[in-house]
Amino acid sequence: MGLLQTDHGDIHTPIFMPVGTIGSVKGVHFNELHSDIKAQIILGNTYHLYLRPGTNIIEQAGGLHRFIGWEKPILTDSGGYQVYSLTDIRKLTESGVTFQSHIDGSRHEFTPEGVMDIQRSIGADIIMAFDECTPYPCDYEYAKNSLQITHDWLTRCFTQFNNTSSKYGYEQSLFPIVQGSTYSDLRKISAEFVASKHADGNAIGGLSVGEPHEMMYEMTDLVCSILPKDKPRYLMGVGTPENILESIALGVDMFDCVMPTRNGRNGMLFTRNGIINIKNKKWENDFTPIDPDGESFVDQQYTKAYIRHLFSAKEMLGPIVGSIHNLNFYLWLVQEARNHILKGDFTKWKDIMVKKVRTRL
């Protein structure tokens, strides 16, 4: 169970993928990702990498792995989400999307074919289909029309993907993405269409965009009941430790989210016993570790009082420590989930753990 094989190594699922949007997991060295955080796969973003450093530089380096110095698997998001969330001026056509760079306002067009080509140049092990990520709330007509476009694009993505090949001598897999907003009928249609592509893995997009958690779980449950069970299911952009545990229970295998790093940079630390806001005065003279059972060196090296001081004094080391701690915790959490699935007591463990991880300490 739970094994995804790539030419850069095996991935044991369920897995959390640290987000390295622009080619770096913010504030974290690759040796730390490897040895301390124990990441098996990281995520990069097509939109960001296309704009900076650009495919030309990445190709000259021999692909993203060599450019950034990471020898394990990489997944790239297609840019569909970023085009909608980061750019102000954009135009959706049947052919694709034209948009202006959030960096310098320059004009660009993303088409399904172009995005496949860019992801061939970047060279991630797993690449994502180009889709439209609908916002929440989203009216039914918009969601239905958008889904049709996403499905047309998906077919074009597979055609382009199958007509091209890897540039760096190792295999790439294309994962399609289920959309359909919060409408069960659309999600069902989409999941069936996606399943018909017989891809190496399948993703669920358009969730965790502001809808209630119950609605996210309902859609995830429905989609998981349709997507093939022998292929990994990737719930994009999720989520809190609680979201991850509940979604594993529904059959999800892969996750990514900026939460452990973004919140870590702001002093919110996730632990086995709950959530710590390390900026609170209550930690000012607490000379115990963040998480006595934590496995990364930051859990051994630093006390709560010291980390609180780092945040108070706006020292860079605070956000760095917060990021490493949180990523290590997320990777520990999914590894523990796997252990309990193998042991056969996942649900019991999950129900206890969900209560713990959402507690405010």
> Total residues at the site for its own copies (CB under 8 A)?
38
Residue span binding its own copies (CB under 8 A) among the ranges 162-170, 180-188, 305-313, 347-355: 305-313
For residue 218, give every residue at least 6 positions away whose Cβ sits within 8 Å of its Cβ, in sequence order, or none: 184
Closer residue to its own copies in complex, CB, 285/359: 285
- Measured between alpha carbons, how far is 200 from 176 in angstroms, rounded to an integer? 9
**Rule CB under 8 A: is residue 71 a binding residue for its own copies?**
no
**Rule CB under 8 A: is residue 317 a binding residue for its own copies?**
yes
| Structural Rg of the chain based on CA atoms | 20
Distance of CA 136 to the CA centre of its chain: 19
Residue span binding its own copies (CB under 8 A) among the ranges 93-101, 234-242, 298-306, 329-337: 298-306
For residue 230, give every residue at least 6 positions away whose Cβ sits within 8 Å of its Cβ, in sequence order, or none: none
Of positions 47, 130, 302, 330, contacts its own copies by CB under 8 A? 302
Report 120-159 residues binding its own copies (CB under 8 A).
none
- Measured between alpha carbons, how far is 298 from 318 in angstroms, rounded to an integer? 11
CB 218 within 8 A of CB 186: no
For 30, 41, 240, 348, the CA distances from 72, given in Å and listed in that order, are: 10, 6, 25, 33
Nearest of 322, 207, 183 to residue 262 by alpha carbon: 322
Residue 77 a catalytic site member: yes
**Rule CB under 8 A: is residue 309 a binding residue for its own copies?**
yes
Closer residue to its own copies in complex, CB, 197/309: 309
Q: Tell me, residue by residue from 226 to 265, as one string, x for binding to its own copies by CB under 8 A and - for no binding.
A: ----------------------------------------
For residue 281, give every residue at least 6 positions away whose Cβ sits within 8 Å of its Cβ, in sequence order, or none: none
Of positions 19, 143, 278, 310, contacts its own copies by CB under 8 A? 310
Strands 97-100 and 90-92: antiparallel
Closer residue to its own copies in complex, CB, 66/197: 66
Nearest of 123, 3, 78, 90 to residue 98 by alpha carbon: 90
Of positions 305, 336, 340, 349, contacts its own copies by CB under 8 A? 305
Residue 345 a catalytic site member: no
Positions in the binding site for its own copies (CB under 8 A): 22-24, 26-31, 48, 52-53, 57, 60-61, 66-69, 284-285, 287, 297-298, 301-303, 305-306, 309-310, 312-313, 315-317, 319-320
Residues with a catalytic annotation lie at 77, 256
